[in-house]
Homo-oligomer: A and B are copies of this chain.
Amino acid sequence: MSTTPKWVQDLRPSSPQGSELLRAEREKSNLSIDNLSKFLFSADVLNRRQKILKILQAEKVFDKSHNYFDGRVDRFKTALARSKKLRQLEIQHKWTRQDLLDASDLISEPGPYGLHASMFLTTLRDQGTPEQHKLFLEPAQNYKYIGCYAQTELGHGSNVRGLETTATWNPEDRTFTLHSPHLTSSKWWIGSLGRTANYAVVMAQLVIGGKPYGPHPFVCQVRDLNTHQPLDGIYVGDIGPKFGYNTMDNGFLLFNKVKIPHVNLLARFSGVDPDTSTYIRPASASLIYGTLTWVRSTIVLQSGGVLARGVTIALRYTAVRRQFQDRDTHAPAHGENQVLNYTMVQYRLLPLLAATFALHFTGKAMMNLYEISQKNLRQNMGKLADKKHGVGPEEAHPGTDLLSDLHATSCGLKALASSIAAEGLEVARRACGGHGYSSFAGISSWYADYLPTATWEGDNYMLTQQVARYLLKSARAVLSGKSNNNDTSKILRRFLDKQDTGAAHDILSVDSDIVAAFAWRTAYLTFEALKHRDVEKKSWNSLLVDFWRLSTAHSQYLVVKNFYEVLQSTSIEYELDQNTLIVLHAVFRLFALHTLEREASEFFSSGAVTIRQIQLTRAKAVIQLLEHIRPHAIKLVDSWQFPDWQLDSSLGRYDGNVYEDMFHRASELNPLNCLIVDPYPENDTIVKKIDKTAFKSKL
């Protein structure tokens, strides 16, 4: 089929081949990939993913070879076809929700059913009454209603209370009127709404008798179930191309006085009494609180894997790419050096490799804590019921305490983890040099699709205020002797106890002292911020930069602590062999010490470490750790177990055949090569001829 000339087909890259180089990398490390992979994910999860991968690869619609070439309209159409097929496979193979998520991970593109399967169904389930479940959830679960979650507006995102869409109660006919009073009231960024959804949960300001009651969720049909055309009074469409996420039809939506029945206000927690036209208040907001925490914890858990894709690609490629000879080695016979052997490349990539593990362990710990908090909450409900039987009040609050701790923790970690992942992907891309800029590298589109994570579910800068508020509150409690006994209170108290004698953290010899140094810095910054706010009475606005630094410090402490605790767990000795464990300890130290030296000034000024310690960290410890980890770099990324099909990257191929793959994609799949142009400026003709035989691709 290919018309590539024979002499081109016969060419091979100059030696050594990429495959030989990666084989050598794998041979020289004694690390056990198998053990490490199972430790990270469990054997069950790895097997399940393998099974799903096989199913997907057998379906033509999931063929990825045109993804990097197609324009937006084609990509959207393909994405919708894939979403449909996924739903068919879900039924056929009786997939669980987790199976479906794994399949999406492997496909690695947002699909037009994305918001239906997550927020639409979840909101109907969690906030609907049994009657509403019957009316809306059942047809939605069967994909008769395809829905979305319409909250953000053109003029309002972070400030949900400022939403402008109104839902006015009409007592006379027991309906609500949905209305968009301004252009800025238009719903905007609503995933799955642009072209796909026929239903939406619309967050609108409830108005009863002229009085506003804040945003509430309303179910609203937006398109005809047969013609798929917008209903009367509704103006809906796609908001246009974006930096990434172009397989998703994010939409806009305007209402011109659209009436919906009383039953369309999701009424499990609050509502309107249709007989009296009075508002029914919600009992507690803690469940919604919990959902947000869960969503953010998921982002933390995913961040390690998100970053690991880019790091896998960059490390494999920099082990294959050779450029220049080592400057101190003058023997020409030596050949060119693998790019990964340069310390400047190691310094950019290996701390990111360390971060992938640090974030993964932190995400798992967060998820565990979330499960515990949910269990506690349920038990707590039970205890509250027991209270009449003599159980004291102090035991009655562990669940909610943990939950508010977890809420703040998840805010700070979501911000830190998604920033590390997004920025790390770009560092990984640039470490691939010129070829990193090619779509075939597989990093830029993944990066562009991931970027919104820094903004949604709480803007990464906005969220840091939540963490600061929590830490200030904890510090006030510690100072007034009313604190509980959680970790935050402990590190704040330790700082107060020790601040007159000073800290002596032996960060270069003792791992637990590294953790203590991070804790010390957090505590120092907390009490500094508290002084500014409570003593010096500075305005909240003037302290936002301090709060951001404080949140970052606290979240870095948590990541370091979580990684450390995994290494201290008793089970780890059974699951990992000694060689692997030693490397993982080095990975921990690299993450922690590299973070510490990057934030050096806060560690000095808080007195957590000395200037000399920082200098030694920078000049010796980090460089030695790079040297220690370098031989295991390829196996460490192998342990993430990304199939080539998932990475879809020329540079990140497991077998190291990067140049063959780049060349194949460029020369045989690239539709631009079908155009024979007229190159002369005086001729207005642009395309002279379409060459349909030269390339396999479609135009």
The B-contacting residues of A in range 224-269, CB under 8 angstroms, are 227-229, 235, 237-245, 249, 252, 254, 256
With the chains together, A683 CA to B7 CA distance in Å? 47
Cβ contact within 8 Å between A328 and B540? yes
Cβ contact within 8 Å between B183 and A12? yes
Chain B residues with Cβ under 8 A from A604's Cβ?
A: 601, 604, 611
Across the interface, A11 reaches (CB within 8 A) one of B182, B673, B679, namely: B182
In the complex, what residue of chain B is closest to A69 when comparing beta carbons?
Answer: B241
Cβ contact within 8 Å between A542 and B343? yes
With the chains together, A215 CA to B375 CA distance in Å? 70
Cβ contact within 8 Å between B347 and A659? no
Chain B residues with Cβ under 8 A from A68's Cβ?
A: 240-241
With the chains together, A195 CA to B433 CA distance in Å? 24
Cβ contact within 8 Å between B239 and A183? no
Q: Is A404 an interface residue when CB atoms closer than 8 A count as contact?
A: no
In the complex, what residue of chain B is closest to A459 when comparing beta carbons?
Answer: B433
With the chains together, A539 CA to B329 CA distance in Å? 10
With the chains together, A159 CA to B338 CA distance in Å? 13
Indicate whether A679 sits within 8 Å of B238 (C-beta atoms), given known contacts A252-B667, A459-B433, A672-B73. Answer: no
Chain B residues with Cβ under 8 A from A336's Cβ?
A: 159, 162
Q: Is A574 an interface residue when CB atoms closer than 8 A count as contact?
A: no
Cβ contact within 8 Å between B605 and A8? no
Across the interface, A666 reaches (CB within 8 A) one of B252, B451, B548, namely: B252
Across the interface, A438 reaches (CB within 8 A) one of B146, B156, B239, B327, namely: B239
Q: Is A434 an interface residue when CB atoms closer than 8 A count as contact?
A: yes
Across the interface, A679 reaches (CB within 8 A) one of B8, B71, B198, namely: B198
Q: Is A172 an interface residue when CB atoms closer than 8 A count as contact?
A: no
Chain B residues with Cβ under 8 A from A324's Cβ?
A: 158-159, 162
Chain B residues with Cβ under 8 A from A164's Cβ?
A: 14
Cβ contact within 8 Å between B675 and A73? yes
Stretch in A184-192, A386-394, A508-516 touching the partner:
A184-192
Cβ contact within 8 Å between A13 and B182? yes
Indicate whether A13 sits within 8 Å of B183 (C-beta atoms), given known contacts A197-B679, A604-B604. Answer: yes
Please count how many residues in chain A sit with their CB below 8 Å of the partner chain's CB atoms.
146
Q: Is A23 an interface residue when CB atoms closer than 8 A count as contact?
A: no
Q: How many copies does the complex hold?
A: 2
In the complex, what residue of chain B is closest to A113 when comparing beta carbons?
Answer: B681
Chain B residues with Cβ under 8 A from A544's Cβ?
A: 342-344, 347
Across the interface, A699 reaches (CB within 8 A) one of B73, B237, B451, B680, namely: B73
Instruction: Name the distance in Å between A354's Cβ and chain B's nearest Cβ.
Output: 16
Instruction: Name the distance in Å between A136's Cβ and chain B's nearest Cβ.
Output: 16
Chain B residues with Cβ under 8 A from A597's Cβ?
A: 601
Contact with B along A332-350 (1 / 0, CB 8 A): 0000100001111101100
Cβ contact within 8 Å between B69 and A69? no
With the chains together, A98 CA to B77 CA distance in Å? 44
The B-contacting residues of A in range 76-98, CB under 8 angstroms, are 76-77, 80-81, 83-84, 87-88
Stretch in A471-479, A564-572, A580-588, A684-692 touching the partner:
A684-692
Indicate whether A240 sits within 8 Å of B440 (C-beta atoms), given known contacts A541-B326, A623-B545, A687-B77. Answer: yes
In the complex, what residue of chain B is closest to A234 when comparing beta carbons?
Answer: B5
Chain B residues with Cβ under 8 A from A12's Cβ?
A: 182-183
Cβ contact within 8 Å between B681 and A88? yes
Contact with B along A599-616 (1 / 0, CB 8 A): 011001100000100110
The B-contacting residues of A in range 647-672, CB under 8 angstroms, are 659-660, 662-663, 665-667, 669-672
Instruction: Name the distance in Å between A450's Cβ and chain B's nearest Cβ.
Output: 11
Q: Is A682 an interface residue when CB atoms closer than 8 A count as contact?
A: yes
The B-contacting residues of A in range 292-338, CB under 8 angstroms, are 322-324, 326-328, 336
CB-based closest 6 A-B pairs: A71-B71, A600-B601, A87-B681, A243-B444, A344-B544, A327-B540
Task: Apart from A158-B323, A437-B451, list 13 A-B contacts with CB within 8 A.
Answer: A71-B74, A80-B679, A81-B684, A84-B681, A143-B682, A188-B434, A189-B434, A237-B666, A237-B667, A239-B666, A242-B437, A245-B437, A600-B601
